[in-house]
Structure 1
Amino acid sequence: MRRHPLALATAWLLTRALMLWLLAHNSQPLLGHGAVAREVWVTYHRWYEALAQGAFPADDPLWQYPPGAGPVLLSPALLPGLTYFRAFVALTLVADAVIALALTRAGTRPGRTLLGAALWILALPLLLHIPLARYDVQVTALAVISLLTLGRSTRACGVFAALGALVKVWPALVLLGTPKGRVSRSAWGWAAVSGTAVLLLLCVLFNNPLAFLLHQGERGVQIESFGGTLLGLATHVGWPGEVKYQYGAMEFTGPYVSAVAAASLALTAVAFALLLLWRLRARADAFGEAVPYDAALTAVLLFTVTSRMISPQYMVWLLGLAAVCLTSRHTTQRPVAVLLVAATAVSAVAYPGLYAEVVHSTWTGCALMVVRNGLLAAAAVLSFTRLWRTTVSVPGTDATCADGRTRSDDREAGAPSPASL
């Protein structure tokens, strides 16, 4: 067993060296003409200067993040010997290593598996250098640690989830699958208390902490979202819309865009209703070791596919949660993880590789988005279906077993039914 963590550590060093090399050469056409790194040394650094003066950048329409993002963007100051860009990348690598280490430790426990650590270490580089130039790795680290600490400390689980939610909202969803009863009350309670305390502290330390809310409502439909894919295809049948850079993303403008955006919000509401229904219908005795992990992945997947925005870095979140699922031998999300790895690879081809094709809605660009978003849609449906079958279906029916098979599959294969034992 000792050889496996050593192999994973070697793989991490080699793949991260490759990612750093790509980042150093990000001015190449297929690597984005420098746009990937520009996010840090231009946009993030501008926000850093405002935050260092004690205020969130309220006048900047690109600022659309909860106040917890402030300390993350200020963190490069912890490494004064480096430029802001280099310090940011260094701290991102530290967060990445923390995730890999946490997954490895979880995978070496009795009854666990190192597949989760392997997925994170080997699949993240499919996004090329993008993860090193966004703070999504730091957010994912908080969500991963929250889930992995659930079995030992509901307090830590709640606190880390709250910290993640204050940085980028979505980590709050990792608490959806906590076992019903005392465990959920404790995790949710600690999340509420710690989140409120940190939010109040940020409100005291900084001006305009809630300025991000003003700009979120003005967002349109990003070209890489499901709605954007439909609009891109519509341009080939005469739709007169255009693509413009606004609010930090390439978005469609023109007739019916507002209707598409409203439809996305409605679908997000439907996704929330489905998750709430699952939570109410799930059997209390079905919340085994893997269910909190599986539910977290399902929830974030559903909110991702219904979003008006599906940036490439969103795949960082999904890979992190899929990796947590794979630390358990009882997860039902293995095929979902495969689909996510495939979607990640296609995402990197679309951005930065062939992003001009996507921006101009060429047939190639549309095809890339159809494939990537089709994989995400299949992953979301499969994830929710398998979660529902394992936790809601009445025992003795065709519920999905821990290894993903159904009981009817067992009977067809000649396995004895529970009644015959």
Structure 2
Amino acid sequence: MNRLRVTSGPVHALAALWLTTRGLMLWLLVHDSAPVLGGGSVSREVWRLYFHWYGVLAHGSFPTHDTLWQYPPGAGAVLLAPGLLPWLTYFQAFVALTLAVDALVTTALTRAGSRAGRSLLGAALWTGGLPLLLQLPLARYDVQVTALAVLSLLALGRSPRAGGVFAALGALVKVWPALVLLGTPRGRQTRGTWAWAAAAGTVSFALFAVPFRHPLSFLREQGGRGVQIESLGGTALNLARHLGWPGQARYQFGAVEMVGPYVRAVATASLALTALSFALLVLWRARARCWSEATPFDAALCAVLLFTVTSRVISPQYMIWLVGLAAVCLTSRHTSQRPVAALVLAATALSTLVFPMRYGDVIDGTWAGCVLMLARNGILAAAAVLSFVRLWRTSRPNEKTMKTREPQPDSDRLPERALSVS
């Protein structure tokens, strides 16, 4: 049995860092109207858009014919949750709950890192990395969905059932947490985890479908998304404006997207790259032979990185997902993703320069805006490639290593050392 190590000093330091940085994030949120902080555009999404959806949901229906509603039904639970604090305004309650979930993630990462053979680097990465996005994490519900993915991964080694349930709940809020189950070891653990995820997802969806009307309305609007200006394709088109491309940036479907010739071709190419990424991940899983305690963590970060980089949309809040998954990787001393985590931090810092600080330059397609986007997305692309390469290598030991290991039966609990899986 793993025992918690005596780490009171580092834990107290993490607590102090969390209180300091979250206090600063709150201060920035209060002063959100400053031009350098986005002129109020960050907080506006909560008190205007989320609050509007709250009113629709409170009347027993998911939004319909709303091009901005592009989320699975589980998002409704997050948006309704501020109603549990009626003595606060909707905005205040939303921020308070987001901070509470943030504290939960920090605590879970700290507990995981305090066990024998583990590391507190993950908790430190989350605590210090999230504030790189300034006030943005407090005004989006991506902290909540990231918490479900983090809890799923941390639970896998001890309770595959809980890991599957948390992943299913996360997928019902935003689809991507389903990817965190990609790296579960083949055999009984995978069958159990995926079965519990499927069952929990089905039951949870039914709980939304019965009392609420139009639970699948998001599918109609999701298909209309174009090429967001911050995506890889959007960056290429923005650079093409300097070479005479006649397109422009326009706000539609809840984001600033590129419109003009060849945009549809770029969107199709993005979808093709996403399909290729999925094929590579399936190939990795089919060829992988060795699992360590860190393999599910590393595979989750790699999968979400690949899907993020090839997406038609790379909103700044997506970095919250990557910081959370990188933090989970760093709780294990066996992770292969340490350099990837460093690249994620660098991309997160650049994302803040992109939005909200220099978003006008990005929309106008100035050279400064283009260089910022090229740097941010270039780092993300490099991180995705490096992540996959390192995941592949650590799951395919050399012949000499294989000879020293004997196949072992499937286990519901991951051992500390790597397993040879037939």
Q: Which runs of 5+ in 1 are unaligned?
A: 399-421
Amino acid at match of 2:349: A
Asked if residue 128 in structure 1 is aligned to residue 153 in structure 2, the reply is: no
Q: Percent identity?
A: 68
User: 1:24 maps to which residue?
Assistant: 30
Structural mapping, 1:83-162, within 5 Å: 83-162=89-168
Aligned counterpart, 1:405: none
Q: Return the match for 2:247 from 218, 241, 244.
A: 241
Is 1:206 paired with 2:212? Answer: yes
Q: Which residue of 2 aligns with 1:411?
A: none
Contact 1:350/1:358 (CA < 8 Å) preserved in 2? yes
Counterpart of 2:367 in structure 1 is 363
SS of match in other structure, 2:156: coil
Q: TM-score, normalised by structure 2?
A: 0.93
1:139-179 Cα shifts (integer Å, max 9, x gaps): 00000000000111011000000000000000000000001
1:162-209: per-residue Cα shift (whole Å, max 9, x none)?
000000000000000001100000100000001001101111010000
For the residues of structure 2 that align with 1:210 and 1:172, how far apart are their CA atoms?
Answer: 18
Distance (whole Å) between structure 1 residues aligned to residue 216 and residue 396 of structure 2: 39
In the alignment, the residues of structure 2 paired with residue 127 and residue 395 of structure 1 have an alpha-carbon distance, to the nearest angstrom, of: 44
| Alignment match, 1:45 | 51
1:253 pairs with one of 253, 256, 259: 259
Is this contact kept in 2: 1:278–1:392, CA < 8 A? Answer: no
SS at match of 1:149: helix
**Residue 396 (structure 1) shift:** 3.0
Give the superposition deviation at 1:379: 0.3
State the shift of 1:318 in Å. Answer: 0.1
Shift, 1:395, TM fit: 3.7
- Corresponding residue of 1:328: 332
Who is 1:296 aligned against?
300
User: What per-residue deviation string (whole Å, max 9, x for no partner) do you get for residues 228-273 of structure 1?
Assistant: 0000000000000011100100000010001100100010000000
Letter in 2 for 1:143: A
Amino acid at match of 2:195: G
SS in 1 for 2:281: helix
Which residue, 376, 382, 386 being the options, matches 1:372? 376
- SS at 1:123's partner residue? helix
**Unaligned stretches of 5+ residues in structure 2:** 1-6, 403-422
Distance, in Å, in 2 between the alignment partners of 1:392 and 1:32 is: 46
- CA-CA distance at 1:393 after TM superposition: 4.3
Provide the secondary structure at the position in 1 that maps to 2:210: helix
- Letter matched to residue 362 of structure 2: V
Q: CA deviation at 1:43?
A: 0.4
Q: Distance in 1 between matches of 2:200 and 2:396?
A: 32
> What letter matches 1:8 in structure 2?
L
Distance 1:366 1:383 in 2: 25
Name the amino acid aligned to 2:61.
A
Do residues 319 (structure 1) and 301 (structure 2) align? no
- Which position in structure 2 is the counterpart of 1:417? none
Which AA in structure 2 matches 1:361?
A: G
For the Cα contact (< 8 Å) 1:41–1:85, is it kept in 2? yes
Across the two proteins, how many residue pairs are aligned to each other?
A: 396
2:288 pairs with one of 266, 282, 285: 282
Alignment match of 1:79 (pick from 59, 76, 85): 85
TM-superposed CA distance for 1:397, in Å, is: 7.7
CA RMSD of the aligned region, Å?
A: 0.9
Structure 2 residue 42 is matched with structure 1 residue 36:
yes
Measure, in 2, the Cα distance between the counterparts of 1:295 and 1:336. Answer: 12
1:68/1:167 contact within 8 Å kept = yes
SS of equivalent residue, structure 2 residue 179? helix
Give the AA of the match of 2:39.
H
Give 1:392 shift.
2.5
TM-score (norm 1): 0.93
Once the two structures are superposed, what CA deviation does each residue of 1:314-368 show, in whole Å capped at 9, x if it has no partner?
0000000000000000000000000000000000001000000000110000000
In structure 1, distance between residues paired with 2:126 and 2:187 = 32
Aligned equivalents of 2:396, 2:363: Cα separation in 1: 42
1:189 aligns with 2:195: yes
Task: Quote the residue 1:419 is aligned against.
Answer: none
